Structure 1
């Protein structure tokens, strides 16, 4: 019977799913501008009412955690997509560009969330991101473009500095420094 079918998040109405996606995107946009995210500004930017926002995300922390998770998932998925479209070194360079965008949001999320929540989110990202880095490095090694002596942990440690950049210097330094890391990952004979 119709009343025996539970309503699950997977069976969410299409408009509710669209509202949720708009709220997450609006929160991401607010975070890139300022770590002091205001929920009323997010609701306004998403074109939804406060009630809709709170139905999806009862607390500010819930919203910020979901932005972070969505960005990790997008970042991880982009590795395989980039490898389908580009040679391994170009894919890694493009993925590093995505990492720079991700780092801006990550810095805002961690600044806004308490430590315990931040540790949970960090655990959510390290495994999948490590897998994406491994995929990119293995493709680069197979093409003879990436040094054989580096692994995903090396890269994650190196790019971890992005969260430590001062917001005022982020735009000027982040992509430049990622280029330096990329140069260090290349084999000696690979093209720039």
Structure 2
């Protein structure tokens, strides 16, 4: 029973560390490990046992957000027609972009580029799922593919937080309107 509790505690600590790091990255590209540990309510040893380097923590925040983003596409299609599902998924992309900007700003340029490009495939697959559903419904243009949408979404990583808050919804609406049949 003690081993099981320790494993559960360790899993909870890891999740809390990731949650705190993600939250901090939405407001700053600075991510002092001691601030993460303190905000997560864990010791330095626990933090470094889970994430031996700042880069390892940043990469895990990024990976977890990509996994969540990709996994959100199919359930949206179960609840909505394809254009509405795509638009709601794009809201998830905008939230993901907030954290992505923080992670990429905090990493060395070469590490950030490698991390970003390593997940483009799974994001493209989620977009293809949404587009293919719309093509089957006849609600999405047949000549649009995931690469088109990824290129259009590139604007999210180029805006600062204030501009993203002001413009993102309107631009995401334009993207969805542009891919409609």
Q: TM-score, normalised by structure 2?
A: 0.93
1:44 positional shift: 2.2
Of the structure 1 ranges 69-78 and 42-51, higher mean CA displacement relative to structure 2 is found in: 42-51
1:119 positional shift: 2.6
Q: Does 1:58 align with 2:52?
A: yes
Match of 1:177 in 2: 171
Match of 2:110 in 1: 116
Residue ranges of structure 1 left out of the alignment (5+ in a row): 1-11, 188-192
Output the aligned Cα RMSD: 1.3
Q: What SS does the aligned partner of 1:180 have? A: helix
Find the aligned partners of 2:45 and 2:166 in 1 and give their Cα distance: 39
Of the structure 1 ranges 174-183 and 96-105, higher mean CA displacement relative to structure 2 is found in: 174-183
1:122 positional shift: 1.7
Match of 1:23 in 2: 17
Q: In structure 1, which of residues 68, 93, 104 is the aligned counterpart of residue 62 of structure 2?
A: 68
Aligned length: 176
Residue ranges of structure 2 left out of the alignment (5+ in a row): 1-5
Q: TM-score, normalised by structure 1?
A: 0.88
